[in-house]
Amino acid sequence: MDKIDRKLLNLLQNDASRTNAELADLVGLSPSSCLRRVRRLKQGGVIDRVVALLSPAKAGRGMKAIVTVELERHGEQYMRDFLGLAAKESAVTQAYSVSGETDAVLMLRLRDMEEFDAICERLFRDRTNVARFYTMFVIRTAKEATAIPL
């Protein structure tokens, strides 16, 4: 990956709706050369996918929660089972297996407390192998970036 690739990637991370002609002009390439580079970055897996980022509040998901989870039983299969269960929940936007005292961290985008309560019933109670979970509701966001520094 050279300097032009990095510039293209930064431009695309900030606004992927730019036309190929705009991108080419901004990086100083011909449109055909620019298109070839972007295709190569996609085929090589550097560009994983192109998506639209929504306003959570305007999409009816203005409530954000961060949940840390401690499992009762440990081991790779127990973690896979829990993460698989979490991944099926549409309100779970991110799910991680982590190191340290906590086993997993979930990021949720919610409509309201009723939805959160229903998710708690499905993910953290009864036979889900969860020993404890702690929830933090986000009050204010100082930074929430999607761009990966290059």
Rounded CA-CA distance 67/108 in Å is: 8
Provide the token pair at 130: 């969860």
Angle between helices 3-14 and 31-43 (to 10 degrees): 80
Residue 25's pLDDT is 97
Enter the tokens of residue 95: 């799910």
Q: Is the pLDDT of residue 77 over 90?
A: yes
In this predicted structure, which of 3-7, 32-36, 101-105, 123-127 has the lowest mean pLDDT? 123-127
Given a contact cutoff of 8 angstroms between Cβ atoms, the answer to whether 138 and 65 are in contact is: yes
The string of pLDDT tens digits covering residues 110-141 is 999 999 999 999 999 877 899 999 999 999 99
Express each pLDDT in 12-71 by its tens digit.
999 999 999 999 999 999 999 999 999 999 999 999 999 999 999 999 999 999 999 999
Q: In the chain, what are the domains?
A: 3-43 (1.10.10.10), 63-137 (3.30.70.920)
Task: Report helix, strand or coil for 73.
Answer: coil
**Who contacts 132 (Cβ-Cβ below 8 Å, separation ≥6)?**
69, 70
pLDDT, residue 128, reads 84
Q: Give the bridge partners for 65, in sequence order.
A: 108, 137
- Positive or negative: CA dihedral 60, 125, 133, 146: negative
